[in-house]
Chain A
Amino acid sequence: MSKFLQSRLGAWTGFAAAAIGLFAVAPLIMSGFRLGLFAQFICYAIVAVGIGLAWGRGGMLTLGQGVYFGMGAYLMAMHLKMADAEFRNGPGAVPDFMELAGVRELPAYWVPFASPAFTVAAILVLPTAVAVLLGLAVFKRRVKGAYFAILSQALAGAFAIFLIGQQTLGGFNGLSYFRYFFGFAINDPVNQQMLYFIAAGVLLAVVAVSLQLRRSRYGELLVAVRDSEERVRFLGYDSANIKVVAYAVAALFASVAGALFVPVVGIISPASIGIVPSIMFILGVAIGGRGTLLGPVIGALAVAWAQTTLSEQFPSAWTYAQGLLFVVVIALLPGGISSIPALARRIRVKNRPEPVEATA
């Protein structure tokens, strides 16, 4: 079975099945509202794929993906606000929330976001560039492990606090009330379904990119860096560069997810990108199986779904469940649910247990 999944045919079959599920089955069985929710979960899943790469394969526990998610989201939100303002009051108009905050002149850094092309380019380039710079700064100096985790977490905290202080970015309330997405009315159910299709398509693409990276020589190197960075260095590779690439790709995925999140959900605020939301991105990845290709996706979808469903009935119990999941899954099942079949097989065969994959 696992041989089959690793084969060419297996990959094709898997993708075909996922595409049918996402594009044909889901819209049929879900109401418009549920489909919208699912699109939101898919955004989380896209972030999770990136974390799976950086953390699961590269060993970099990034507790600050909210930063890149937020960048993508705010960049997109700025464009949507500009487009709305332009549609209502002509070119160069000040977005509504700024008028309310008493801002009469459009701040200069907002101006380029009137252009859709510039916005899309910024969403792809800016967070990636920040990740590369930060990654070089950190990894070249061999800051790693717990130090890196804490720095990335502090970065998420600092970024959220910074945004709260920026009145021209909506401050604590964030940006909301978007009417059009590249010229299409967001409140039209047909367009909402289209947004879902886009999110689902991006998820498939992101998983494909991740698969490509994992199977390339680079993917092998990344795992080698995770398991024994010194040896990779002694072999003559620059381990920092290898890590920077994975970190930057994860940032790019998070940014794209953030950009999709904005039209799907209709709001982005610092509350969605601070320290706690950033750690929560990790939970799904850990549950699904950090080192696997699809584990993070399934884990992220499952956690988001459970949160919505359970918190409706038992708000306080959900917090306990979250805490327990962190403890139980990570302490007892570091491979996540994806490792259950392998574990079961190992117990059944009663073979000499294979060494557990080092993941720290």
Chain B
Amino acid sequence: MDLIVGQLFTGLSTGSILLLAALGLSLTFGQMGVINMAHGEFIMAGCYTAYVVQQAVGDAGVSLLIALPLGFAVGGAMGLVLETLLIRHLYHRPLDTLLVTFGVGLILQQVARDVFGAPAVNVTVPEFLRGGVDLLGTTVPKTRLFIMALAVVAVAAVTLVLRLTPAGRRIRAVVGNRDLAETAGISSRTVDAGTFFIGSGLAGVAGVALTLIGSTSPTTGQSYLVDAFLVVVAGGLGRIKGAVVAAVALGTLQAVFETYSTASLAKVGVFIVIVVFLQLRPQGLFTLRTRSLA
């Protein structure tokens, strides 16, 4: 019983971390078919935002509350710059965008190394998130509960924005059919920039949250990136609910594999499951029906 609860919890927890890292990616990938390899470095930027704010403010609790919105702004701003300067000009070459953003990621990593130094820096966990809560016989760290809650809030916020606001309606219109949306008078350019801002901002938020459980170093973002991509691929292009289900499923899968074999084999197992899964559903869990042939 304990073990099952523990695994379920670990799956949810790992899943929510994956989800935070992948949510913004899913948004930008779905919207523009653009793979942003610098997404991991936006996460890293969020981590360092948390660090800098904590250095300035001192109190860990207050600084976390400041860092969350600020991380969103920092990540979003970086995304906006990247979109305007580079990605915008490469819309018809999605694979090239992948490589270009990889280059951007390399540069950002080295910048972090030169500015903050190569060793990991410490972001103190606020007092109210330290320790654990006893839940059905296992101890659950509060930081992980916080991250789960944050993931739920982020998903809810994105869903609400997409469903209820005029901006969200425009985003959905462009995802559905870019040309038709243009014809209807929507500036796909502005919408793209907006989507990229939100998507990258979410990476920044993820970065701030991840300082609670992981290390903050120039390579932090990289370690989450491939898993985040797999979530997006398995979840289906541009489907938020796909990303949610895929993230939790992959998290649980990883946790189960890890309990019964080694962590290394767990990674390989997850990969095999995804390839087999794509055999069954090549477009991911939830397919967006479009009339595009591509």
Over the window 201-241 of chain B, the binary record of Cβ atoms lying under 8 Å from chain A Cβ atoms (1 yes, 0 no) is 00000000000000000000000001001101100000000
Judge whether A165 and B95 touch: CB under 8 Å: no
Judge whether A360 and B265 touch: CB under 8 Å: no
Judge whether A320 and B233 touch: CB under 8 Å: no
Contacts of A358 in B (CB 8 A): 92
Given the known interface contacts A150-B230, A154-B226, A275-B226, the answer about A165 and B107 at a Cβ–Cβ threshold of 8 Å is no
> For the complex, what is the distance from the CA of A165 to the CA of B266, rounded to whole Å?
11
> For the complex, what is the distance from the CA of A332 to the CA of B282, rounded to whole Å?
33
The count of residues in chain A whose C-beta lies closer than 8 Å to any C-beta of chain B is 44
| Identity of the chain A residue whose Cβ is nearest the Cβ of B225 in the assembled complex | A275
Contacts of B254 in A (CB 8 A): none
| Identity of the chain B residue whose Cβ is nearest the Cβ of A166 in the assembled complex | B264
Given the known interface contacts A141-B279, A316-B114, A319-B110, the answer about A146 and B100 at a Cβ–Cβ threshold of 8 Å is no
A-B pair count, CB < 8 Å, reads 124
> For the complex, what is the distance from the CA of A334 to the CA of B95, rounded to whole Å?
11
Judge whether B86 and A320 touch: CB under 8 Å: no
For the complex, is A137 an interface residue (Cβ under 8 Å from B)?
Answer: yes
Contacts of A209 in B (CB 8 A): none
> For the complex, what is the distance from the CA of A141 to the CA of B274, rounded to whole Å?
14
For the complex, is B161 an interface residue (Cβ under 8 Å from A)?
Answer: no
Contacts of B95 in A (CB 8 A): 59, 61, 145-146, 149, 360
For the complex, is B169 an interface residue (Cβ under 8 Å from A)?
Answer: no
Given the known interface contacts A143-B282, A275-B226, the answer about A327 and B103 at a Cβ–Cβ threshold of 8 Å is yes
Over the window 66-80 of chain A, the binary record of Cβ atoms lying under 8 Å from chain B Cβ atoms (1 yes, 0 no) is 000000000000000
Contacts of A165 in B (CB 8 A): 262, 264-265
Say which residue of B33, B96, B293 sits within 8 Å of A230 (CB atoms).
B293
Judge whether B233 and A61 touch: CB under 8 Å: no
Q: Indicate the size class of the contact surface on chain B.
A: 35 or more
> For the complex, what is the distance from the CA of A123 to the CA of B44, rounded to whole Å?
40
Given the known interface contacts A61-B95, A327-B103, the answer about A319 and B267 at a Cβ–Cβ threshold of 8 Å is no
> For the complex, what is the distance from the CA of A141 to the CA of B94, rounded to whole Å?
20
Contacts of A159 in B (CB 8 A): 268
Say which residue of A143, A164, A322, A325 sits within 8 Å of B278 (CB atoms).
A143
> For the complex, what is the distance from the CA of A147 to the CA of B233, rounded to whole Å?
7
Judge whether A161 and B264 touch: CB under 8 Å: yes
For the complex, is A359 an interface residue (Cβ under 8 Å from B)?
Answer: yes
Contacts of B29 in A (CB 8 A): 146
Judge whether B229 and A323 touch: CB under 8 Å: no
B266 to chain A, nearest CB (A): 9
> For the complex, what is the distance from the CA of A327 to the CA of B103, rounded to whole Å?
6
| Identity of the chain B residue whose Cβ is nearest the Cβ of A144 in the assembled complex | B294
For the complex, is A208 an interface residue (Cβ under 8 Å from B)?
Answer: no
> For the complex, what is the distance from the CA of A349 to the CA of B189, rounded to whole Å?
34
Say which residue of B93, B106, B282 sits within 8 Å of A319 (CB atoms).
B106
B278 to chain A, nearest CB (A): 6
Contacts of A319 in B (CB 8 A): 106-107, 109-110
Say which residue of B90, B106, B229, B294 sits within 8 Å of A154 (CB atoms).
B229
Given the known interface contacts A150-B233, A154-B226, A161-B267, the answer about A326 and B282 at a Cβ–Cβ threshold of 8 Å is no
> For the complex, what is the distance from the CA of A275 to the CA of B226, rounded to whole Å?
9
For the complex, is A289 an interface residue (Cβ under 8 Å from B)?
Answer: no
> For the complex, what is the distance from the CA of A184 to the CA of B230, rounded to whole Å?
45
Could you list 11 examples of A-B contacts with CB < 8 Å? A141-B282, A147-B233, A159-B268, A230-B293, A275-B226, A319-B109, A323-B106, A326-B103, A327-B100, A331-B89, A360-B93
Lowest 5 A-B CB distances belong to which pairs?
A: A326-B103, A165-B264, A323-B106, A323-B107, A158-B271
